[in-house]
Amino acid sequence: MDELIKQFLSQYKKEFDFYEMAGRIGAQQLENRLGASGIRAIVTSRAKSPNRLEDKIRKRNDKKVYASLGDIYEDIVDLSGIRVALYFPGERNEVDKIINDQFLLLQDPKIFNGTTNPSYEKRFSGYWATHYRVRMKPSLQDELQNRYCEARIEIQVASVLMHAWSEVEHDLVYKPMQGGISESENAILDEINGLVLTGEIALERLQKAIEERVAQSERGFSNHYELASYLIEETKRLLNSDIEPMLGDVSVLFQLIKRLEINSPGAISQYISQADANMEKRSLTQQIIDQIIVADEDRYNTYNSILGDEKLKNTSIAEDGNVAIGCFMSAWIDFEVLLRNTIKKISPAFDEYKTRKKDLLNLQIFTEEQASEYEYLRRVRNNLVHGIEIPDSDYINSASNDIEALSEILKKRLI
């Protein structure tokens, strides 16, 4: 058995760089998503230290008795790890949505609602966190990074205070370098845990105070973190829901409303009230951006300049693809103007933002087939505008022709 452990450790040392890089890539991508969504956090990564790993394997082998290298790999799930230390514990739900969207979950998250050191009766509850076992999505990686999607990664999400306390406790209690700790030391750790839990309550109150200050002020949002807090609370209030919305890229929205000089709660609340409660397919920020720029070529251009027009500058897109996208967007903007005018003519009181298939059918603007065509073209438009997917030029040109056909139908309705 000792030989099997040595063989595993020897192999792991050769793979150490692989697990370290997998964690680093995953952490960088997660940090980018959290930052864009307005979530303050410290994101770090690491690969399991071979020396610490040997101690863990030997202790677990006493209970499990490994029969093969595969048994060890299957049992040790945190060879690559990511730690998310949240400034505000109340943002756990939004982090959960981002992790579910960014990674492939291998099992349900493990939620720690307090742990107890069996050798000491604590007064306070202990460790509070959520652990995820995931793999990176191949669809979100480039070809050079795809091989790292094979690595299992453990993501630990907790407050900055809880992570600090758990690190100290784990090293002193569960990984003692100089024997077990005394009852007095256990009591001090327990006392610190009480301070940490009190600190988390204070952080939640601080977050609420910031949200209330931002919502009551008509001054501009100072940064996209303030905007994110406002969007979460205002969406829950307007949609009468306790479920936090999938925010999306708040940093881009923040730049857009600043550029358009609508950077205040009062100026953007109207767009939030028009959002669809089902945000699994389209995030809140995508919906708000779409409403802000709808049927306005200048605003489309402003939005594209903020994005840096990456989807058009991408070297993988040929020049004819750039031309095709430009023609499509021009045709779509003209179509949006016609559609809004048609809706106003037929039903002046109708909510023009709610232009889903069923709405257009109820207003008898399109037939069933035409409304389905519109839904398809709108998905193409969303993919192009938000850089989700860039089809080839022939596909885009065909879609442009379909837009022109629908526009002709609307022109006849306006005569």
User: Is 335 found in the same domain as 280?
Assistant: no
Is residue 210 in a domain? no
Contacts of 295 (CB under 8 A, 6+ apart): 333, 336, 337, 340
3-state secondary structure of 348: coil
281 and 318 in a single domain? The answer is: no
- Residues 20, 144 share a domain: yes
Per the DSSP assignment, residues forming a β-bridge with 157 are 84, 130
Q: What is the predicted pLDDT for the residue at 310?
A: 44
Q: What is the DSSP string of 207-244?
A: HHHHHHHHHH--SPPSSHHHHHHHHHHHHHHHTT-SSP
* Counted domains in the chain: 3
- Residues 226, 175 within the same domain: no
In a domain, residue 212? The reply is no
- Say how far apart CA 44 and CA 355 lie, in whole Å: 43
Q: How many whole angstroms separate alpha carbon 164 and alpha carbon 386?
A: 38
Q: Establish if 92 belongs to a structural domain.
A: yes
Q: For residue 104, what are the β-bridge partners?
A: 135
Same domain, 171 and 230: no
CA dist 412 → 272, 364, 366, 394 (Å): 33, 14, 12, 28
* Rounded Cα distance, 152 and 139, in Å: 16
391 and 412 belong to one structural domain: yes
269, part of any domain: yes
- Of 211, 130, 140, 209, which Cα lies nearest the Cα of 163? 130
Cα–Cα distance for residue pair 14/10, rounded to 1 Å: 7
Note the helical H segments in 217-318.
Answer: 224-238, 250-259, 265-273, 284-293, 297-306, 310-313
**Is residue 211 situated within a structural domain?**
no
Mapped onto helix, strand or coil, the DSSP state of residue 2 is: helix
Using an 8 Å Cβ cutoff, are 229 and 210 in contact? yes
Do 279 and 326 belong to one domain? no
Residue 117 lies in a domain: yes
Last residue of a domain, one of 231, 256, 285: 285
- Pairing between β-strand 103-105 and β-strand 80-86 as defined by DSSP bridges: unpaired
Residue 317 amino acid letter: I
- Would you say 345 and 413 are in contact if contact means Cβ atoms under 8 Å apart? yes
Cβ contacts of 367 within 8 Å, gap of 6 or more: none
Look at residue 106 in the predicted model and tell me its pLDDT.
Answer: 93
Q: Residue 41 burial (CB < 10 Å; 0-12/13-18/19+)?
A: buried
Residues of the chain with pLDDT under 70: 1, 114-125, 171, 173-180, 217, 241-243, 277-281, 308-322, 350-354, 387-389
pTM over 0.95? The answer is no
69/142 same-domain check = yes
In a domain, 207, yes or no: no
- Tell whether 179 and 69 lie within a shared domain: yes
- Residue 332 contacts residue 340 (beta carbons within 8 Å): no
Q: State which of 265, 285, 305 marks the end of a domain.
A: 285
Given this model, what pLDDT does residue 319 score?
53
Query: Residue 81 maps to which CATH number?
Result: 3.30.460.10
Sign (positive or negative) of CA dihedral 401, 413, 363, 361: negative
| pLDDT, position 317 | 45
- Is the same domain home to 320 and 354? yes
Query: Quick check: is 115 in a domain?
Result: yes
* 276 and 249 fall within a common domain: yes
Range of the domain at 117: 2-202
Same domain, 264 and 360: no
SS3 159: strand
